Structure formats: C-alpha cells, structure tokens
Structure 1
Amino acid sequence: MIRQTDFFLEGDRRGVLLIHGLTGTPMEMRLLGKGLNHAGFTVHGMQLAGHCGTTNDLLATGWRDWYASVEKAADALRDKVDHLFVGGLSMGALLALKLAADRPGQIAGVGVYGATFRYDGWSIPWQARLSFLLPMLKRFGFARTRSFVEQHPYGLRDERLREQVSAAMRSGDSTIAGLLGNPWHSLADLHLLSGTVRRQLPKVVSPCLVAHASDDDVASVRNAEIVMENINAPAQLLLLDDSYHMITIDRQRRMLIDHSVRFFDAIVPPGSPPTPTEPAPWSR
C-alpha cells in the first residue's frame, strides 16, 4: 500500500516544487523545503507516482508515470503562486530539468541537485553500471524481481545520519527512507528517462543552480558537467566537498539551502509582481 508522504509549506507567491529521487521519499527534500520556506517561499515536496509503497507498487509505474505526477503537482502549485521554481535530487533533478524543457515560459529557475544520468560513482558495483542493457531485459519481461541493493555509504558522509537512514531502509518502512533496493525494471526506466532528458537539455532556458558533491559516491561530477555544457541558460555550479550523493540532507545541507535561497531570490526577489502571461488560445 502506498502512503501519502508529501508536504506543503505555505509562504509567499513564489513557489518551489521539490522532487525526490528514484525509490526515495519526500522526506529527503524536507530539510531543504523548510529552509526555503523559512526564507519566504511556498514549498511543495511532492511524492512521485508508485513511490512510498512496495516494490510492486513501484514496478507498476514507469518514468512517464513519474513525470505525469510531476506535471500534476506543478499545475496544482502554479494555481497557488505567481512564480514557479522546481528542484530535484538525483533522478528528481532529471524530472525537474524535463519540466523546465517542456515549460520554458513557466519555470522561473531550477535547482539541479545531484543530477543522475548514470550511476557512475565510486561506490557503484560494475554490474550496476550496465544500465544500457536493462531496457532490453524489461522489454522481454526478464528479471522483474531482481534489484540492485543499496551500497554503503548510502549516499551519506554523515555517519550518524547514515546509520539512521540505513536502519530505516532495512526496517521495510519505505515512507521514511525509501526502498532498500533499486529494481532492475525501474532502473531501465531511469535509463530511458536519462536519454530523453539529455536530448532535451538545449531546450532548458531557465536559470539553473547545479549542485553536486565533488566526491559523489553514486553519480560522478560528470553528471553535473553534462547539465552545465548543454543547457541554454545561465547556470551556477556548486561543488560540495564534505557531502556524498544525498546533498539535501548530508553535512553541507545548510550551505545548499543558503545557495538555493540566494539563487532563487536573485531571479525573483520577495514581493515581485506576477509575471505577465499570454492568454490561452481559447480565451482570446
């Protein structure tokens, strides 16, 4: 059974939609969300389709379902605010970039946190790097029950937090820290999403804060460089030297919050009037 774990923090007329990663939970975005809300922003930490339940719940969905839930959440938040930002962690960063590419006139700015086009960090076993084979396995229905189990250090440099998160994953309560393993079929969908987003990066014209751990255990800095090299927008690169992959909750989360607030504030200062929009064709 899937439990609803998203959160909504009311602030001013500037909204930020926060998107968690594959097999993750909105909890990994809550501290960032609270920091942004403390600075005045209205924040919605959404829950992706199929997440926060069982492995079968996740396998019943694919990347198009995940993205459809992002679009639905963006539409709901846009009705409550005048300016819409989006930020995502890991796979959530890819979904945020796709939203910006698809809606260039609607997204004021993007927080690209630990973007993961490929699992190529130093903790990833060589078998998990063969993701390009997974779509074929899924297409023929092979290995549906197989998963790559999360590896030490679980994306966290903070040892105390790492123990808490790993214990939560082992407990089987996916609403706290997500699933312990990444199903092969879900990773196949991540591979397909990655290719789609990479092709769309030149369509991203919203300013981007690209934050990444310089010693990321899950996704190397090359993933951040792909964003910086291919978007058609102003971008700022923030490398965090005392964090691993889960930068929204790891040791330098306060630095990430401060940079995000300053970056978004510079685009739309507090008290900014609504952005003029073209009327819909059917209303003319």
Structure 2
Amino acid sequence: MPPAFRFEGGAEGVLLVHGLGRTPEEMRLLGKGLNRAGFTVQGVALAGHGGSEEELLASDWRAWYASVEVAAVELRGRVDRMFVAGSSMGALLALRLAAVHPDWVAGVGVFGATFRYDGWSTGWAARMSFLLPLFKRLGIGRHRRLLQWPPHGIHEQRLREHFGRNMPGGPDGATQREGDPWHALAETVELARDVRRRLPSVLAPCFIAHALDDEVASAANADLVARHVRGPVEMLLLADSYHMITIDRERRMLIERSADFFDRVAREARSARVAA
C-alpha cells in the first residue's frame, strides 16, 4: 500500500479519503490546494487499496472505514479542529465518520458521493448493483469486473491522458482501469446502505460538490445527502466535469470553495467559543 501524503499547515486539519480501487493520489491536488490555504492535510490510504486485486478482495468496507478512523485519530492529535472530505465511495466513508463521531468532525466535504451507480455511462449492469452482495454471499463472480469505459471520470481528454500516465493507482493506474471487481462493489453497496441509514446523525456542516454530468453517479446522489443530513448544507454543482472532480477541469473551483467553506466553519466555531 503506498504511503498516505501529509502536508503540515495550521491548527485546522482536513482528512482526505479516496475512492474505491484508487489511492490517496486522486486527492493530492486537492490536498495541496487546501494546504496552500493554510490547512494541515492528510490523505488516508484505505485498507486493501493500492496493491493487487486479491488484496482489494480480501478487504471489506469495515476495514476501509477502520482505516479512516485510525487516520482521524492521528490527525486529531495534531490539530485543534478536524474536517473530513471524501471522493466517490470515500465520500460515504467521510459521512460515516461524521455520523459515528460527531464530536470529532467540524465539517464534511462530500465530493461525487456514490450511493447508487446511476450515471449515464454505467448501463444496466451497474444499475443492478444491489444484487452484488447476494452474488458475493453465494460466491458468484469473484473475479468478474464491472467494466469501465472512457471517459474514466475525467471530462477533458488531455487531463485524462495526463493522469492516466502520471498518477499511479495500483496495477491498473488511477484513471485507466479495467473496472471494479464485483465483490469489491458488493462492499460499496453494503456501505451505502449503512451510511444512508446514518445520514440523519450527520450534524456537522456539509459542503456537497457533484458534477451535473457525472457519468458514474448522478446528481441525485448529492440531493440524497442534502435531504437527509441534519447539519447545514452548501451545494456546488459543476457543469464542466465528470466523476473525478478532484482532478477534472473544475478542480481549482472545488479547491477554492472547499477551503472557503472549511475556513468559514472554523471561524464561526472560534467566534462561538469566544462568545461562550
């Protein structure tokens, strides 16, 4: 497993959680941008990720979440206030951390949350993903993959080619992958069910960003979060990006708006503490 990145900064920290089958590298540009804005930033390396397919299949969503908790404990020991943000499946793990540990999390970045694989490129197989946990229990399709076709989450071809060449993400690369194994996707379905039930326990402010043209998970996933969390919500809908909004065309807007959101939440928290 590749090491998670860490950028030292100020007294507020942001924990960044990558998506299924990927590595912290998909969050590095966001992390650098948040660090330039003054935040201490740490990327989580999820259990089972960044190595072989067998390593991924040997892990489950509980192990992925445990990775987030361990990293959160570490970061909390070094900062006064912690935010958490995740991309795709990582957004679900970030929301779960906020629901389970409301006293740990000052705010949540929810980027391309994937509760349902209902984007325009997914096809009927992805839309039937609710059956995958049953297939896994029956031992069906362990080495079958849900094939992925271009655009691989990135709108602009130049960026797609660049990140496919230069952003390592395990044996298949960070963006140019053959697809996700059925049994790993079965774990994301189980995770989504768990987190959906917990959304009303999310009391922290949420910054929800989603591509309007997301080919993997439609913007209905963002609406689901906004409707069910109980904390204040701010929404950013991106018109010129696909699923991987942390590296696509509008990543600079995402970085700026995320930094502004976390900074405002932190300032309000400091003001409230002084007033008390």
User: Shorter-chain TM-score: what band?
Assistant: over 0.9
Amino acid at match of 2:250: Q
Q: Secondary structure at the match of 2:90?
A: helix
Residue 124 of structure 1 corresponds to which residue in structure 2? 122
In structure 1, the gaps of 5 or more residues are 277-284
- On the 8 A contact 1:144/1:185 being kept in 2, the answer is yes
TM-score, normalization by structure 2: 0.94
Report the counterpart of residue 98 of structure 1 in structure 2. Answer: 96
Alpha-carbon distance between aligned partners in 2 of 1:125 and 1:257, rounded to the nearest angstrom: 31
Alpha carbons of 1:161 and 1:213: their partners in 2 closer, same or farther (altered >3 Å)?
same
Match of 1:50 in 2: 48
Is the aligned partner of 1:225 residue 2:223?
A: yes
Change (3 A) 1:49 1:273: farther
**Contact 2:152–2:176 (Cα < 8 Å) also in 1:** no
Is residue 61 of structure 1 aligned with residue 67 of structure 2?
A: no
Q: TM-score, normalised by structure 1?
A: 0.91
Secondary structure, aligned partner of 1:128: helix
SS at match of 1:87: strand
Count of aligned residue pairs for this structure pair: 274
- Residues 96 and 112, structure 1, Cα contact 8 Å, conserved in 2: yes
Looking at structure 2, the residues matched to 152 and 92 of structure 1 have their Cα atoms a distance apart, in angstroms, of: 21
Kindly tell me: are residues 82 and 181 of structure 1, through their superposed partners in 2, closer, same or farther at Cα, counting changes over 3 Å?
Answer: same
Match of residue 145 from structure 2: 147
Q: 2:87 aligns with which of 72, 78, 89?
A: 89
Structure 2 counterpart SS, 1:269: helix
Equivalent residue, structure 1, for 2:19: 21
Aligned partner letter, 1:227: V
What's the secondary structure of 1:108's corresponding residue? strand
Q: Do 1:104 and 1:205's aligned partners in 2 also have CA atoms closer than 8 Å?
A: yes
Distance in 2 separating the partners of 1:14 and 1:133: 41
Displacement after TM superposition at 1:127 (Å) = 1.1
Deviations 1:37-91 (A, max 9, x none): 0011000011110000011010000000000000000001111111010000000
CA contact (8 A) 1:53 1:174 kept: no
| Aligned CA-pair RMSD | 2.2
In the TM superposition, 1:104-115 aligns within 5 A as: 104-115=102-113
Aligned 8 A contact 2:152 2:160 in 1? yes
Label 1:41 to 1:169 Cα distance change in 2 as closer, same or farther (>3 A).
Answer: closer
Change (3 A) 1:44 1:171: closer
Structure 2 vs 1, CA of residues 202 and 35 (structure 1 numbering), >3 Å: closer, same or farther?
A: same
Tell me how far apart the structure 2 counterparts of residues 235 and 42 of structure 1 sit (CA, whole Å).
23
Q: Which of 175, 193, 197 in structure 2 is aligned with 1:199?
A: 197
2: CA distance, partners of 1:149 / 1:256: 28
Cα contact 1:25–1:178 (8 A) shared by 2: no
Instruction: Confirm or deny: 8 A CA contact 2:119 2:216 kept in the other structure.
Output: yes
Structure 1 Cα separation of the partners of residues 81 and 272 of structure 2: 7
Q: Which amino acid aligns with 2:143?
A: T
One-letter code of the match for 1:248? T
**Can you give the 5+ residue segments of structure 2 that lack an aligned partner in the other structure?**
none
CA distance in 1, matches of 2:21, 2:192: 16
Q: CA deviation at 1:180?
A: 3.1
Letter in 1 for 2:92: L
Q: Which residue of 2 aligns with 1:250?
A: 248
Alignment pair present for 1:135 and 2:133: yes
Mark the CA change 1:104 to 1:270 in structure 2 (over 3 Å): closer, same or farther: closer
